[in-house]
């Protein structure tokens, strides 16, 4: 592998999260280099210039005001999850710093009044007039105990969601917050996939994504007056979802504010238009064997769309798309340094788990190689995340070194209906883990995988699964690489970290309550915890952890490492002082993957 290709695969995506200006003439996007993240603007003539540098920080949630005069976004120190709201006047490039007493979790812009922004800080709602430079933001509503606020297109508070002691939640609506009434009650298992999509332009309907009363995650509308629930779109087997860069699988007509297209995903993305006009517009975007076209943004007059072509063996490409003609014009790539390189593709992987449940995922084998091959099982996080048909830079890097990778949507993964997701409840270290072992066994039987050279790699829940494979099945998992990994389910269930407190009841049920309602006791949870299954026979382990991680306490990982070292288990521990739950900086990723390469070479020994 050339040095240039190595650097390109290890670096973060260079150009990401573009957003189209309301007039369709400009695109703002995030550019990442070795120094960190920057905000850039691309004009209609193709020229680009930097708007702001946020080195050592992360940027997210870019939005234009209705007239395109102001750009707002959130940023935070890399690894932290304490977001502040900032912005920029596009004419003068004057920075706007919106004061807050705490992290800004959400913000809303008025559909027509481009001068108004409403945001949450310490749970209260704050209103700022961006047109008046001397006006001070004011608190317009104290939080009456909401977990999330509901704010309409006029930037008016209309209610919120409230969690109850048993873990269920109510959606409350009312023009007078003091008299807001419950219009929907969600059971504990329905809370996790609730997503507020916003109000209709007249404020009379609230659109939600939810599994409430359904077998899949669907789009519903709630009448704010009568509380009547209407299904806008529902797929029989699959949840509404999309690629993370494009939202959650619902798009709204920017002229009317009405939903007009939804997407679902099995092995590939599928569009479902909600009007005949949209059916014609999205027809050119149907997935092909080479790419999936995904809508990112739409201009205010809906004449220009920003789309991205997702590929599995090359950089994704952003295009300007004309929905009337179906023609697209290339703009730029997310990883321009990868253009022209020959890279392997993903292959569909289907199998049946040991208990008879059909499962799916993907595999990637090195170019021009036949099995059986040394293999890395790349376990996705969540666990209610999922693997998608897309470009995996980490898997491409491993393929360049000669490793096949497996990407499994084990039970509990999202996207495949509520029964499939809930079948993972109480199965941390149980059937979810067995699904991974079964995938390896099937791949061995098909001549794809060398059963003597298998590693597990993952972050967050994926890191937990990798560690458990090392400690519970060292006969199969010959080494494990775990990033930001929970190590002790007993302590997690008894005393979740503060980050998880709002949803602690739901998380406890996911971890410790089986499908028949029985609760796992501490001894059973210990048998599913890497720190308690650790033994002298555990296979070698590489751990990486960001000191700023709010989700997995540093002390928990330190304790695991100390115990492993005392037992004589081969363990290497990388601690990153400037990272959080994920390793983000290019410099740290280079350190991490150099260690991964050396670790795999030592313990899987490609011959």
Q: Provide the pLDDT confidence category of residue 365 given band limits of 50, 70 and 90.
A: very high
C-alpha–C-alpha distance, residues 18 and 80, integer Å: 23
Please report whether residue 157 resides in a domain.
no
What is the chain's mean pLDDT, rounded? 93
Instruction: Say whether both 362 and 458 belong to one domain.
Output: yes
Instruction: Say whether both 384 and 414 belong to one domain.
Output: yes
Closest to 118 in 3D by CA, of 82, 152, 68: 152
Instruction: Say whether both 132 and 171 belong to one domain.
Output: no
Please report whether residue 456 resides in a domain.
yes
Name which of 17-26, 92-101, 323-332 the model is least confident about: 92-101
Neighbour tally for 202: CB within 10 Å: 10
Neighbour tally for 288: CB within 10 Å: 10
Please report whether residue 262 resides in a domain.
no
pTM of the predicted structure, to 2 decimals: 0.94
Cα 133 from chain centroid (whole Å): 36
Structural domain range at position 220:
162-240
Q: Which residue has the higher pLDDT, 558 or 6?
A: 558
Please report whether residue 247 resides in a domain.
no
Residues 196 and 251 sit within 8 Å (Cβ to Cβ): no
Residues 172 and 183 sit within 8 Å (Cβ to Cβ): yes
To the nearest 10 degrees (0 to 180), the angle between helices 3-10 and 586-604 is 110
Question: Is the per-residue pLDDT at 322 higher than 90?
Answer: yes
Residues 34 and 587 sit within 8 Å (Cβ to Cβ): yes
What's the Cα-to-Cα distance from 239 to each of 389, 529, 585, rounded to whole Å?
16, 31, 33
Question: Is the per-residue pLDDT at 463 higher than 50?
Answer: yes
Please report whether residue 1 resides in a domain.
no
Instruction: Say whether both 138 and 166 belong to one domain.
Output: no
Q: Which residue has the higher pLDDT, 222 or 192?
A: 222
Question: Is the per-residue pLDDT at 606 higher than 60?
Answer: no
Region 236-241 average pLDDT: 98
Instruction: Say whether both 380 and 484 belong to one domain.
Output: yes
Cβ-defined contacts of 43-48 (< 8 Å, 24+): none
Instruction: Say whether both 434 and 374 belong to one domain.
Output: yes
What's the Cα-to-Cα distance from 522 to each of 462, 490, 528, rounded to whole Å?
22, 6, 10
How much is the pLDDT for 1?
65
Region 191-202 average pLDDT: 93
C-alpha–C-alpha distance, residues 348 and 332, integer Å: 28
Instruction: Give the rounded percent of residues in the chain with a pLDDT score beyond 90.
Output: 82
Could you report the per-residue pLDDT of 121-168, keeping only the tens digit for each?
889 999 998 888 888 899 999 999 899 999 999 999 999 999 988 888
Instruction: Say whether both 94 and 182 belong to one domain.
Output: no
How much is the pLDDT for 7?
87
Angle at CA of residue 548, ends 506 and 243, nearest 5°? 55
What's the Cα-to-Cα distance from 395 to each of 401, 407, 557, rounded to whole Å?
10, 9, 25
Residues 359 and 410 sit within 8 Å (Cβ to Cβ): yes
What phi, psi does 42 have (nearest 5°)? Answer: -115, 125
Instruction: Say whether both 477 and 530 belong to one domain.
Output: yes
Q: Provide the pLDDT confidence category of residue 607 given band limits of 50, 70 and 90.
A: very low
Q: For 187-265, where are the E strands, in sequence order? A: 195-199, 205-210, 218-223, 229-233, 250-252, 259-265
Could you report the per-residue pLDDT of 94-124, keeping only the tens digit for each?
999 899 988 998 999 998 877 788 899 889 9
C-alpha–C-alpha distance, residues 605 and 595, integer Å: 15
Instruction: Say whether both 414 and 520 belong to one domain.
Output: yes
Closest to 9 in 3D by CA, of 574, 291, 400: 400
3-state class percentages of the chain: helix first, strand second, coil last, to nearest 5: 20, 35, 45
Indicate the residue among 85, 109, 143 that finishes a domain: 143
Three-state DSSP class for 540? coil
Residues 539 and 479 sit within 8 Å (Cβ to Cβ): yes
Indicate the residue among 240, 259, 281 that finishes a domain: 240
Three-state DSSP class for 544? strand
Please give the order of strands across the beta sheet that includes 116-121.
107-109, 116-121, 124-129, 138-141
CATH number, domain with residue 473: 3.40.50.1820
Instruction: Count the domains in the chain.
Output: 3
Name which of 78-82, 119-123, 238-242, 493-497 the model is least confident about: 493-497
Please report whether residue 328 resides in a domain.
no
Name which of 52-61, 340-349, 499-508, 570-579 the model is least confident about: 499-508
Instruction: Say whether both 507 and 422 belong to one domain.
Output: yes
């Amino acid at each position: 592998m050339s040095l240039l290709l190595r650097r390109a695969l290890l670096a973060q995506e260079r150009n990401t999260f573009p957003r189209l200006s309301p007039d369709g003439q400009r695109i703002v996007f995030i550019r990442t280099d070795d120094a960190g993240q920057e905000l850039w603007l691309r004009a209609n003539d193709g020229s680009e210039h930097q708007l702001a540098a946020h080195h050592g920080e992360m940027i997210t949630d870019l939005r234009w005001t209705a007239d395109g005069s102001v750009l707002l976004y959130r940023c935070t120190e890399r690894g932290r999850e304490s977001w502040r709201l900032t912005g920029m006047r596009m004419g003068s490039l004057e920075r706007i710093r919106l004061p807050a007493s705490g992290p800004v979790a959400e913000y809303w812009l008025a559909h027509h009044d481009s001068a108004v922004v409403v945001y949450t800080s310490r749970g209260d709602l704050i209103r700022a007039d961006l047109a008046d430079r001397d006006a001070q933001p004011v608190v317009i509503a104290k939080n009456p105990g909401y977990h999330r606020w509901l704010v309409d297109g006029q930037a008016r508070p209309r209610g919120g969601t409230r969690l109850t002691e048993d873990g269920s939640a109510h959606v409350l609506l009312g023009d007078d917050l003091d008299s807001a009434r419950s219009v929907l009650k969600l059971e504990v298992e329905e809370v996790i996939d609730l997503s507020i999509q916003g109000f209709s332009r007249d404020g009379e309907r609230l659109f939600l994504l939810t599994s409430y009363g359904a077998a899949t995650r669907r789009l519903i509308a709630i009448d704010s007056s009568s509380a009547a629930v209407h299904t806008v779109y529902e797929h029989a087997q699959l949840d509404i979802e999309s690629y993370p860069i494009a939202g959650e699988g619902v798009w709204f007509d920017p002229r009317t504010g009405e939903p007009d297209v939804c997407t679902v995903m099995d092995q590939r993305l599928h569009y479902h238009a909600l009007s005949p006009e949209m059916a014609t517009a999205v027809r050119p975007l149907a997935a092909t064997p080479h790419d999936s076209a995904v809508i990112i943004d739409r201009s205010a007059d809906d004449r220009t769309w920003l789309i991205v072509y997702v590929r599995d063996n090359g950089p994704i490409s952003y295009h300007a798309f004309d929905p009337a003609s179906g023609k697209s014009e290339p703009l730029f790539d997310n990883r321009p340094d990868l253009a022209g390189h020959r890279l392997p593709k993903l292959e569909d992987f289907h199998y049946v788990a040991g208990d008879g449940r059909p499962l799916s995922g993907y595999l990637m084998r090195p170019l021009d190689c036949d099995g059986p091959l040394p293999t890395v099982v790349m376990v996705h996080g969540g666990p209610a995340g999922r693997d998608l048909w897309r470009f995996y830079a980490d898997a491409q890097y491993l393929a360049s070194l000669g490793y096949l990778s497996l990407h499994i949507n084990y039970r509990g993964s999202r996207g495949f209906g509520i029964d499939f997701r809930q079948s993972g409840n109480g199965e941390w270290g149980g059937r979810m883990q067995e699904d991974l072992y079964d995938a390896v066994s099937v791949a061995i039987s098909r001549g794809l995988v060398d059963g003597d050279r298998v590693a597990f790699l993952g972050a967050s829940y994926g890191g937990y699964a990798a560690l458990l494979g090392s400690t519970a099945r060292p006969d199969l998992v010959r080494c494990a690489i775990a990033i930001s990994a929970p190590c002790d389910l007993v302590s997690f269930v008894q005393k979740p970290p503060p980050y998880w407190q709002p949803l602690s009841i739901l998380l406890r049920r996911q971890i410790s309550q089986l499908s028949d309602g029985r609760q796992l006791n501490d001894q059973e949870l210990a048998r599913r915890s890497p720190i308690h299954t650790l033994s002298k026979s555990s296979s070698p382990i590489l751990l990486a952890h960001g000191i700023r991680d709010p989700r997995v306490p540093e002390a928990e990982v330190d304790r695991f490492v100390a115990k492993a070292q005392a037992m004589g288990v081969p363990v290497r521990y990388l601690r990153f002082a400037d990272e959080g739950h994920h390793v983000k900086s290019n410099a740290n990723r280079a350190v991490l993957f150099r260690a991964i390469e050396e670790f795999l070479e030592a313990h899987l020994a490609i011959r």
